[in-house]
Amino acid sequence: MKVCVIGVGRFGYHLAVTLSDNGVEVLAVDSNEAIVASIRDKVSQAICMRVADEESLRSIGADDMDVIIVAMGENFAQSILVTALLKHRLQSKHVITRSISEIHREILQLIGADQIVLPEREEGRRLADTLSLPFKALFRITQQFCIAQAPVPFSMHHKSLKKLNLPENYGITCLGRKVSEEIEQIDPDDILAENDVLIISGTVKNLTRFARL
């Protein structure tokens, strides 16, 4: 897979490097020479260029990319222009654009961005969840439905999942058990130990009620 990241600020930099570490062919593009120099050895290719029109997009090979990520969220007008050019002139397959506000997101939706991310909002939500919810980790699938890690409550020590009947009694599902840094399946007849950490899914309300037992 070929991915082009346009705009290598803090968000774009970490995104491009992580994609490259995961084995993806990454082209990083930014108008700042120092930034391009700092990432050149960490991605497949890095180009110093201000992307502002159809010609510049074609010159970097944007029309040959599987995914293009417009990560220049701070420059409101330029990110909208680049997204519009990619979708309506280059007919790009999949364009993901970073947004910095709700109005920015709404405009990007109107011009056809395939996916819109608001990293600051998501990071804020993750921090709020960490501070206010009783979980070691939580991942939101939707606003209300989540997957979380939670230690086995004291009242459930030395009992089996079958006996506890979590879906019926607590409205949650146990997906597995964390062992070291791995997740393993757990049999309904297995007895829960004091130090077990379960991977559970359900609504925020039900997960919180379970974790606070």
Pairing of strands 95-98, 197-203: unpaired
pTM of the model: 0.71
Architecture of domain 2-121: 3-Layer(aba) Sandwich (3.40)
- Res 122: pLDDT: 81
Let me know: does 201 contact 145? Beta carbons within 8 Å: yes
Answer positive or negative: Cα dihedral of 72, 75, 78, 84. Answer: positive
Domain 133-211: give its CATH superfamily. Regulator of K+ conductance, C-terminal domain (3.30.70.1450)
Over range 136-142, report the average pLDDT: 78
Which sequence spans correspond to the domains of the chain?
A: 2-121, 133-211
Contacts 24+ apart (CB under 8 A), 13-17: 13/38, 13/39, 15/69, 15/71, 16/42, 16/43, 17/42, 17/43
pLDDT digits (tens, 9 = 90+) for 52-68: 899 999 999 999 999 99
Q: Please give the structure tokens belonging to residue 191.
A: 């007895």
pLDDT band at 136 (very low <50, low <70, confident <90, very high): low
DSSP E strand boundaries for 126-210: 137-140, 145-151, 173-179, 182-184, 197-203
- CA 85, 91, 94: angle at the middle one, nearest 5? 95
